[in-house]
Structure 1
Amino acid sequence: MRIGLLGTGPWARMAYAPALSRHGELDFAGVWGRRTSAAKELADSYDVPAYDDVDALLADVDAVAVALPPAVQADLAVRAARAGRHLLLDKPLALTVADGRAVVGAVEESGVASVVFFTARFQSEIEAWITEQAAVEGWFTGRAHWLGAVFSDDGSPFAASPWRREKGALWDVGPHALSVLLPVLGDAQRVAAAAHGPGDTVHLVLEHVSGASSTLTLSLTAPPGAAGATVELRGAAGVKLLPESSDGAVAALLRAGDALLAASGTGQAHACDAAFALRVTEILAAAEDLLNGGA
């Protein structure tokens, strides 16, 4: 499968480009970016072509990987899907429900495969843990703390990200927490409460279709020493804690590439497809509405 990369920022350089170049069954076919000079620099480092026209890249590939801000990703994902290109996307799928629905509509109309890279879902130890816990009945409650130090650590390459500055932890790390909780506790039928904490920190309470509830604490402004991700489940089976993963982002993206190949080859949707990512977007939008004073 010939795959092109859309994006040249830190995440494209740190994760996507290395993964695409190392995957044995993906042919890293080129780079397009909003800045031509950055696209050329990244492409040259992997000895692949740089494109100054995104449609020219789409014409030369079977699939695209997108490492761009979510508002930009949504528009380009629709464009790529309508061109018949399979999609390896990043979270969040979009920043509005309407944009997310547009992506899902284009995917369904064109019949292309889609995989959205929720990092934890493609880390082997965590994926196995989620599968194990999803088969257990009687969960009573879940608790997720997903705390980053993007805005409190001067060395973070993502601190200057305009969309993260605007949307904060809810939209950046919220998708990660939901990607772990939803397959275990079931869909969130209601965001029961949402409150602001220090900095961009938010606290959410969700009611799940299984009858369980969950609480989420999300932040990008945690002190570096307090940063990290924990998930705890409590129920009839006792207490279960999310394991740490030895897989970094590149290893996880290699597995996401495997998932895209499988979905495109079999026609069977992956659990983390655009439709799942849309549901995450809908939950985040409902939480944002509550945080902004909505009913």
Structure 2
Amino acid sequence: MSEDVLRMGLVGAGQWAHKVHGPGIAAHPRTELVATWARRPEAAAEVAALGKATPFADFDEFLQHVDAVAFAVPPAVQAPLATRAAQAGKHLVLEKPVAPSADEAARLAQAVADAGVTSIMMLTFRYDPATREWLDEVHRTGEWDGGLARWFSGTLLDTKYENSQWRHDGGALADIGPHVFDLLDAALGPVVSVEQVRFDRQVWHVLLGHETGRLSAATLSMHTPVFPAVTDFAVHGPHGFLAFDASGDATSRYAVLLDDFVRLVGGKTAEHPLDVRRGLHLQRLLGRVTDQLAGG
């Protein structure tokens, strides 16, 4: 960092790079978008223009010009590149899911730990003050019997994501599963088991067991033609029913994420509740869900 401004590079040139990461880094008072990299050099150049950054064709050369790297690429691309970035001493803003498998997520988490760099996950709901207020109320009240989540959107019916193959391959489980499982886990305690899974007509039904002995149920679809999307969470018990609508603005949430990230890097702090270890926990949970569906 120079003069309290974090020099950041951006990897990727898709929807989120253009709409959230690039503009967010360029607009934040304590970050500067100085470099971009993508598999297509012309795409890297387009994103670079968002912050008057320099596009690079060589990833290792790109790393030489930054303090930190934000990733906006598929998990199979992110995991090996983020590992290289960590080994080069760069701090990381990581997309979810963090990797295509738990083994690859574990290797990335180990690289981050070995390098002692800061990492933070793009679990965007968690940076919203409204989410934090709901979680505070959940924990303050306590003694909940269980929870539930409903996420219905038509995202994968939209042509703007037709080139996002990993989303179509993994569906709602891969794309929004990390958000949903993270928030249920944060509300009711660590998820330790997957009790039941059903996948029918592009809808996931997942029953989770928490360390507290409570159960939560999640229903997920990105093939339901509904607008705006349904993003409901709730806990229930002797105190009643405490609901939360997780809809919100990704741009403002990203600004809070960068606030946390810059503070951690400036304080030479590697640990955060939503760092790469959280990504690894969620990746293992995704694996359990797919194993349960397969009868494993």
TM-score (norm 1): 0.94
| Alignment of structure 1 residues 145-294 onto 2, 5 Å | 145-154=150-159, 157-199=160-202, 201-225=203-227, 227-246=229-248, 248-266=249-267, 267=269, 269-294=271-296
- Is contact 2:121–2:276 with CA below 8 Å preserved after alignment? yes
- Is contact 2:121–2:279 with CA below 8 Å preserved after alignment? yes
Distance 1:159 1:229 in 2: 22
Deviations 1:126-178 (A, max 9, x none): 12212331333211110001122122344xx2233100111111110101101
What residue is the counterpart of 2:27 in the other structure?
22
What residue is the counterpart of 2:64 in the other structure?
59
- Is contact 1:125–1:245 with CA below 8 Å preserved after alignment? no
In structure 2, the gaps of 5 or more residues are 1-5
Task: Name the aligned partner's letter for residue 161 of structure 1.
Answer: S
What residue is the counterpart of 2:3 in the other structure?
none
Distance 1:209 1:252 in 2: 29
- Is contact 1:146–1:174 with CA below 8 Å preserved after alignment? no
1:115 to 107, 112, 120: 120
Task: Name the aligned partner's letter for residue 184 of structure 2.
Answer: L
Task: Name the aligned partner's letter for residue 124 of structure 1.
Answer: P
Deviation at 1:237, TM superposition (A): 2.4
Distance 1:293 1:187 in 2: 23
Deviations 1:95-140 (A, max 9, x none): 2000110111011000000000111111221122123313332111
Deviation at 1:44, TM superposition (A): 2.6
Distance 2:50 2:146 in 1: 47
Distance 1:51 1:163 in 2: 24
Q: Give secondary structure in 1 for the equivalent of 2:97.
A: coil
Distance 1:95 1:174 in 2: 13
Cα pair distance change 1:173/1:265, threshold 3 Å: same
Distance 1:59 1:223 in 2: 45
Bigger Cα displacement from structure 2, 17-26 vs 257-266: 257-266
Q: Give secondary structure in 1 for the equivalent of 2:156.
A: coil
Cα pair distance change 1:245/1:194, threshold 3 Å: closer
Distance 2:157 2:33 in 1: 35
Q: Give secondary structure in 2 for the equivalent of 1:139.
A: coil
Distance 1:293 1:226 in 2: 35
Task: Name the aligned partner's letter for residue 179 of structure 2.
Answer: H
- Is contact 1:148–1:219 with CA below 8 Å preserved after alignment? yes
Count of aligned pairs: 290
Deviations 1:57-92 (A, max 9, x none): 111111000000011111111011000000011111
> Is 1:10 aligned with 2:12?
no
Cα pair distance change 1:203/1:115, threshold 3 Å: same
Q: Give secondary structure in 2 for the equivalent of 1:264.
A: helix
Q: Give secondary structure in 2 for the equivalent of 1:75.
A: helix
- Is contact 2:116–2:270 with CA below 8 Å preserved after alignment? no
2:129 to 100, 124, 146: 124
- Is contact 2:119–2:270 with CA below 8 Å preserved after alignment? no
Q: Give secondary structure in 1 for the equivalent of 2:137.
A: helix
> Is 1:72 aligned with 2:77?
yes
Q: Give secondary structure in 1 for the equivalent of 2:209.
A: strand
What residue is the counterpart of 2:111 in the other structure?
106
Deviation at 1:54, TM superposition (A): 1.1
Cα pair distance change 1:120/1:45, threshold 3 Å: closer
What is the RMSD computed on CA atoms of the aligned residues? 1.5
Deviation at 1:222, TM superposition (A): 1.0
In structure 1, the gaps of 5 or more residues are none
Task: Name the aligned partner's letter for residue 111 of structure 1.
Answer: G
